Structure 1
Amino acid sequence: MLTIGIVGTGGIARAHIDAYQRFGTECEIVALCDPAPGRAEALRAELGLEGARVYTDAAEMLATEQRLDLVSVATPPSTHAALSITALEAGVDVLVEKPMAPSLEECDAMIAAARDNGRLLSVVAQNRFRDDIATLKEVLDSGLAGPVTHAQVSSAWWRGTEYYDLWWRGTWESEGGGCTLNHAIHHLDMTLWMLGSPKAVTSVLTNAAHENAEVEDLSVSVLQYDRALAEVTASVVSHGEEQAIVVQGRHARVSQPWKVVAETANPAGFPNREGDAERVAAIEAVAAAHRPLTHTGHAGQIGDMLDAVRERRRPAVDGEDGRRAIELVTAIYEAGVERRTVDLPLSPDDPYYRTGTLVERAPHFFSKTASVGELPGAITVGAKA
């Protein structure tokens, strides 16, 4: 029976706890930690976690709970690195919420702590554990669509201004960024997973509708590959939250929400009306052959992490995967702030590699005008694509 500690008992912690409880014969939550007095106790009582001890200091929890196998870090982004490193140096494996950390410097320190202490580090990327996304990945890996020529990725969310009233949201220092880092990180990770890393990035940032936040609420980026381009829109101003990943291959278009189109040309180069029905059927067959995942979302990733902890193997999403997503976000921010194309990979001597550069250089679109300890209502942890 693996023993689990949860650091941070805000909204996203519920997704972790629910996922761990799905594996009740394999693990037990024995500790909850939150610096806000009474918060961990309230969640323990609400969710019936009578066997979990409560702490307000993570270092104290790690020193006291010497039998911990795995810690979930579910705190604001600016705290991820320090808390993860503390746990790793205490000999505990770590699953840290997205985004991994606000800077590449912090990501590399986390990866080094895992390596130097022989521990496992995983970064939450729960959208990889979705049947629709796994199906799209399998179809692209089949090669039936041909080499990718163009992709359109829409990370479309909507948030009211109250969203940025929460104390840690809405500033470059505490949140690390706006929707590009904290919402589109999901779609950027999926893009990297399916298409690989781009060679260069250009981007534009703005705050279109949240006058109570320093950070961007909308960015539009172009990722440059060898012969392909990918457009990525990151938004919290999109009514309806119509998210999509559309991938154009040389031979066919595939997308989530699911759609397949394969054109063929007439003698003049225009599309034939009937298209390539045989290729469409072959792609649909690959999609139909997808074996549904036993667990999806956070539960899918936590199930894999529990297996990795027992087997001492690399988790499906490790620290390097989390770092790649942060590198892409960092390049988007650098391109948008400096108004130029940014080549990848980023080197340690790039100013944006370092912690604090965004705080110094990024535009403060507006001033944060409210700071509340907690917001009512549920959070949204995923959408259709």
Structure 2
Amino acid sequence: MINIAIIGTGSISIAHIKAYCQFRDRCKIVAFADIYPEKAESYVNKYQLEAKVVSDYKELLDDPTIDAVSICTPPFTHAQLSIDFLRAGKHVLVEKPMASSLKECDEMIQAAQESNKLLSVVAQNRFINPIMKLKHVLEQNLIGKISHVQVDSYWWRGYSYYDLWWRGTWEKEGGGCTLNHAVHHIDMLQWTMGMPKEIVAVASNTLHDNAEVEDLSVAILKYENNALAQVTSSVVHHGEEQQLIFQGEKARVSVPWKVKAQKARENGFPYPESDADVESKITECWEQYPELKYEGHTGQIDHFLSAIAEDKTLLIDGIQGRNTIELISAIYKSANLGIKVQLPLDSDDPFYTRDGILSNVKHFNEKKTSVEGFSDATITTGGKYE
């Protein structure tokens, strides 16, 4: 039995609690830590758990009964919490974003290596059927050389979203929609395409003047093979119609699922009809990939528990989490300094450290309101990939 502690009981922690509760034969939630312990107590009662509650996470570091922790706190706390628990001999599953800077990511990875404990970063969209199927199709090289990827990370958040005390500030949230919303799509992009060689980006705050950070950014990534990717990160798009589109030499595939393959006439112009043979092979590859038993947070937590119990390799570890933060850091560097950014970012780069980032980013506005919480803790997950 793997004993779990939940660190932070904000809205996202509910997804972790529900997931762990699906595997009561494999794990048990034995502790919560939150600066608002009454919130944690309400979850203990709601989910009928036999778990202790503390207001200071440090009380759990030396608890020998705890095997692993889920860190569900605001982004600016992720690094220190992860490092402390790893050094205390606990496996760590940390919510996105992994950390506020590459330096913090490297310190977390080092702590995991030194403690010989698992460090995994939440990327629950990898654990859904459409994304797994798309990844499988791309790995079969059925669409040929990829020339262009379109990533639409479209979310919508009302004005009051940034009233929460830690949101909308560079210091505590670490960034805006690029870091805290598009992180999922940027993770999926680097998972499928690898790391680019250069990035150019722009960012703006268009509709949330109660936040220092961006609510919209657009980035162009260029790869070694000259392929381009465009990433739009947003919390101003009504409808939240999210998609990833891969244009290849032989065909186009995407989530939500669509396949299109065109044939060229002698003069290079397309025939009106599609290349049915190519489309059929790609569709068959998509449909034959086995369905996942669990999806989303539940799928990732199932995987995390298996990795602990069976010494399996993590699908997303600290290195993978760091790759995503490096891309986001490069987007912020380009958007704030108005330059083309070459990758990788070195340790002497101003956007490698948290202090360097804070010294170089623009404050679009100053935060006007700060509330401790909302009475409605509902989280919606935006567009679907079906």
TM-score category (smaller protein):
over 0.9
Counterpart of 2:83 in structure 1 is 85
Checking the alignment, whether the CA contact within 8 Å between 2:35 and 2:56 is kept in structure 1 is: yes
**C-alpha distance in 1, partners of 2:86/2:382?**
28
1:266 aligns with 2:260: no
Q: Secondary structure at the match of 1:152?
A: strand
Q: Is 2:123 the counterpart of 1:125?
A: yes
Where does structure 2 lack aligned partners over 5 or more consecutive residues?
A: none
Q: Note the aligned Cα RMSD (angstroms).
A: 0.9
> Do the aligned partners of 1:105 and 1:355 also contact (CA within 8 Å) in 2?
yes
TM-score, normalization: structure 1? 0.98
Give the Å deviation of 1:57: 0.8
Partner SS, residue 202 of structure 2: strand
The count of residues paired between Structure 1 and Structure 2 equals 383
CA contact (8 A) 2:100 2:354 kept: yes
**Residue aligning to 2:35:** 35
> SS at the partner of 1:364?
coil
The answer to whether the Cα contact below 8 Å between 1:120 and 1:314 also exists between their aligned partners in 2 is no
Quote the Cα distance in structure 1 between the aligned partners of 2:380 and 2:70. 19
What residue is the counterpart of 1:186 in the other structure?
A: 184
Distance apart, 1:358 and its partner CA: 2.2
What residue number does 2:295 align with? Answer: 296
**Per the alignment, in what secondary structure is the counterpart of residue 356 of structure 1?**
helix
Equivalent position of 1:254 in the other structure: 253
Aligned equivalent of 1:4:
4
| Higher mean C-alpha displacement, 179-188 vs 302-311 | 302-311
Determine the structure 2 residue equivalent to 1:322.
321
Q: Does 1:343 align with 2:342?
A: yes
By how many angstroms is 1:53 displaced?
0.5
For 1:15 and 1:41, how far apart are their aligned partners in 2?
17
Q: Secondary structure at the match of 1:222?
A: strand
Report how far residue 382 of structure 1 moved. Answer: 5.3
Aligned to 1:311: 310
Q: CA deviation at 1:321?
A: 0.6
Hey, what does 2:241 align to over in structure 1? 242
Q: Distance in 1 between matches of 2:182 and 2:116?
A: 31
Shift of 1:345: 0.9
Secondary structure of the structure 1 residue equivalent to 2:12? helix
Q: How does 1:1-385 map to 2 (within 5 A)?
A: 1-49=1-49, 51-63=50-62, 65-226=63-224, 227-375=226-374, 376-381=376-381, 383-385=383-385
Q: How many percent of aligned residue pairs carry the same amino acid?
A: 51
Structure 1 stretch 346-355 or stretch 232-241: which is displaced more? 346-355
Distance 2:219 2:25 in 1: 45
1:339 & 1:112 partners in 2: Cα distance?
A: 32
Cα–Cα, structure 1 residues 269 and 288, in superposed 2: closer, same or farther, change >3 Å? same
> Would the aligned equivalents of 1:135 and 1:290 in 2 still touch at CA under 8 Å?
yes
One-letter code aligned to 1:123: V
Is the partner of 1:295 in helix, strand or coil?
A: coil
Residues of 1 paired with 2:44 and 2:159: CA distance?
A: 30
CA–CA distance in structure 2, aligned partners of residues 187 and 37 of structure 1: 33
Q: 1:331 to 1:186 in 2, by over 3 A?
A: same
**CA distance in 1 between partners of 2:255 and 2:37 (Å):** 43
Measured after TM superposition, the shift of residue 127 of structure 1 is 0.2
Contact 2:183 2:324 in 1 (8 A): yes
1:303 deviates by: 0.5
Q: Distance in 2 between matches of 1:162 and 1:58?
A: 29
TM-score (structure 2 length as normaliser): 0.98
User: Is the Cα contact below 8 Å between 1:173 and 1:356 reproduced in 2?
Assistant: no
CA contact (8 A) 1:218 1:237 kept: yes
Post-superposition offset of 1:173 = 0.2
Give distance in 1, aligned partners of 2:265 and 2:104: 54
- Shift, 1:66, TM fit: 1.3
The 1-side partners of 2:242 and 2:383 are apart by 7
5+ residue gaps in structure 1?
Answer: none
